[in-house]
């Protein structure tokens, strides 16, 4: 997900996106452990997206404070 798209989202939407990504990473890690994951490298991409979401959230919170 691009940072530009994230910056256009509200704080509530970003919180929801963060929750979704954490859940996806959790589920994918279980699939990898059970050797059922189609694409284990996807964890890396999901973690990068999660970092982007957290960064934009922090920026929005700092600008509102």
Closest CA to 18 of 35, 36, 44, 9: 9
pLDDT at 32: 92
pLDDT at 2: 85
Q: What are 26-30's contacts with CB under 8 Å, separation 24+?
A: none
Give the pLDDT mean for 4-27. Answer: 95
d(CA 63, CA 60): 5
Q: What separation in angstroms does the CA of 25 have from each of 6, 58, 60, 61, 63? A: 19, 21, 24, 25, 29
Closest CA to 24 of 2, 53, 57, 3: 53
What average pLDDT does the structure give for the chain? Answer: 93
User: Where do the structural domains in the chain lie, given as residue ranges?
Assistant: 3-64
Provide the CATH number for the domain formed by 3-64 in this structure. Answer: 1.10.287
């Amino acid at each position: 997900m691009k940072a530009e798209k994230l910056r256009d989202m509200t704080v509530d939407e970003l919180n929801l996106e963060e929750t979704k990504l954490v859940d996806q990473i959790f589920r994918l890690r279980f699939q990898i452990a059970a050797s059922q994951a189609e694409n284990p490298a996807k964890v890396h991409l999901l973690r990068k997206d999660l970092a982007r979401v957290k960064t934009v959230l922090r920026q929005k919170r700092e600008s509102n404070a």
